[in-house]
């Protein structure tokens, strides 16, 4: 028997009424460019979220079609798509190489908002990857060389030994980007903006890519 006492109950009608009376309803979402709206929401999230406002759930599928999800950090966003970086030999790297499609989910709890993205995945250029890698802290650069991401780890000592070996290899010199480490860009076909409203009557606005532009549609909650 699971312990359901740890799961919060659904809000009561009185609690919903208090939410409604506490603030005026915001105007309906309206935008022509989803990336402008995303940038606005990200800016608010950076100011409000206590940790990792750029955190996003990345979903891929493996060779059997089984879905796989994990949290990664957004490193760039614009009309070309949403960018993150990874070890190419990791589970997500191998899955994206075999099936270059993905879904992203941003959830900003403090703002009661989320953004869903679905699209195809393309690699960033080597120049982009080099430029971003150069901004990482040196220990993180060393870690990218040392970690065989998603592979079995005998024990923690094995990782610490690899880190020490890589540290000695580079000494005080520049740490170059590993050939097995680069970035992916999710080029969206759809972007959905979701905003919490009382009584589960949430607001949903979806952008669908059509040619060089976007169409919008509201969805039932």
Q: What's the rounded Cα separation, in Å, for the pair 18 and 15?
A: 5
Catalytic, 200? Answer yes
Q: What's the rounded Cα separation, in Å, for the pair 209 and 79?
A: 11
> Could you tell me the two tokens for 10?
């659904």
| Cβ neighbours of 11 (radius 10 Å) | 14
Rg of the chain (C-alpha set): 21
Q: What's the rounded Cα separation, in Å, for the pair 119 and 59?
A: 11
Q: What's the rounded Cα separation, in Å, for the pair 174 and 49?
A: 34
Q: How far is CA 208 from the centre of its chain?
A: 19
Choosing from 18, 112, 138, 200, the catalytic residue is 200
| Cβ neighbours of 56 (radius 10 Å) | 23
Q: Kindly list the catalytic residues.
A: 200
């Amino acid at each position: 028997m699971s312990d359901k006492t740890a799961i919060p109950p659904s809000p009561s009608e009185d609690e919903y009424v208090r939410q409604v009376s506490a603030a005026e309803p915001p105007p309906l979402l309206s935008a022509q460019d989803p990336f402008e709206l995303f940038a606005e929401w990200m800016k608010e999230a950076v100011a409000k979220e206590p940790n990792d406002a750029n955190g996003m759930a990345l979903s891929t599928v493996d060779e059997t079609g089984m879905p796989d999800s994990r949290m990664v950090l957004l490193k760039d966003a614009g009309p070309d798509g949403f960018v993150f970086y990874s070890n190419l030999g990791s589970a997500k790297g191998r899955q994206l190489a075999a099936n270059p499609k993905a879904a992203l989910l941003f959830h900003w709890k403090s703002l009661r908002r989320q953004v869903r993205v679905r699209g195809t995945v393309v690699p960033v250029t080597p120049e982009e990857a080099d430029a971003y890698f150069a901004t990482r802290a040196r220990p993180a650069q060393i870690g990218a060389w040392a970690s065989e991401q998603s592979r079995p780890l005998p024990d923690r000592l094995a990782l610490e030994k690899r880190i020490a070996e890589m540290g000695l290899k580079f000494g005080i010199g520049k740490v170059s980007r590993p050939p097995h480490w680069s970035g992916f860009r999710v080029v969206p076909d759809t972007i959905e903006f979701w905003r919490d409203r009382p009584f589960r009557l949430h607001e949903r606005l979806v952008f669908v890519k059509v040619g060089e532009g976007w169409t919008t549609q509201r969805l039932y909650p």
